Chain A
Amino acid sequence: DIQLTQSPSFLSASVGDRVTITCRASQGISSYLAWYQQKPGKAPKLLIYAASTLQSGVPSRFSGSGSGTEFTLTISSLQPEDFATYYCQQLNSYPLALTFGGGTKVEIK
Chain B
Amino acid sequence: EVQLVESGGGLVQPGGSLRLSCAASGFTFSSYDMHWVRQATGKGLEWVSAIGTAGDTYYPGSVKGRFTISRENAKNSLYLQMNSLRAGDTAVYYCARGLRSSFWYFDLWGRGTLVTVSS
Contact = CB atoms under 8 A, between A and B. Distances in A.
Interface in B17-67: 35, 44-47, 50, 58, 60
Contact of A97 (B35, B60, B105, B110): B60
Nearest to B95: A43
B44 A46 contact: no
Interface residues of A, number: 24
Name the interface size band of chain B: 10 to 19
Interface of A: prevailing SS: strand
Contacts, number: 52
A100 interface: yes
B44 A96 contact: no
B47 A44 contact: no
Contacts of B46: 100
Interface of B: 35, 44-47, 50, 58, 60, 94, 99, 102, 104-107, 109-112
